[in-house]
Amino acid sequence: MSSTDDEEKAPGTAASGAEGPRSGPAEASGAGDQAGAIPLKAVDDIGRATAQDVQEALHQVIDPELGIDVVDLGLVYGIEIDELGRAIITMTLTTPACPLTDLIEDQCASSLAGLVEEFRIDWTWTPRWTLDMITPDGKEQLAAIGFNFADMPTYE
């Protein structure tokens, strides 16, 4: 595994850090082919939850309006495990006016209970969330409940 200060990351992604959230998957690739690639960073994986473990747990956090998890919706921009084993999650919502922030935070607390001692969500609105950030699995789930991406408006 990794040693102190080594970065753990998903293939093809850059790790997040103090510099702030990365550009969205669509912006990084130009075509959205990295949708769902979340930068992961862990200081010390030995005996602790990893950023990958946190990402997997966040699949249990369901957006109450759409019924799809926050990872597959592309709402999670980055996960970091600091030197004390705390999870710092950088994420957004589909709109800054979303009234469900507290509900999503409560779901995060439930899904991360027993995995990490503490966590923090750093809410960000940059980059702006777009449909291009939804993972292929998320798009399949949305199509199964009736969303037709071919008829969705595009914004530039």
Cα-based distances in Å from 86 to 57, 63, 106, 132, 156 = 14, 23, 17, 30, 37
Q: Which helix (H) or strand (E) holds 119?
A: strand 119-123
Average pLDDT estimate for 105-110: 97
17 three-state secondary structure: strand
Q: Which helix (H) or strand (E) holds 64?
A: none
Confidence check: pLDDT of 126 > 90: yes
| Predicted local distance difference test score (pLDDT) of residue 17 | 37
Structure tokens at 91: 């994420």
Helix pair 51-58, 101-112: axis angle to 10 deg = 120
Tens of pLDDT, residue by residue over 46-64, are 667 899 999 999 999 999 8
- pTM, two decimals, is 0.69
Report how far residue 141's alpha carbon sits from residue 144's, in angstroms, rounded to the nearest whole number: 5
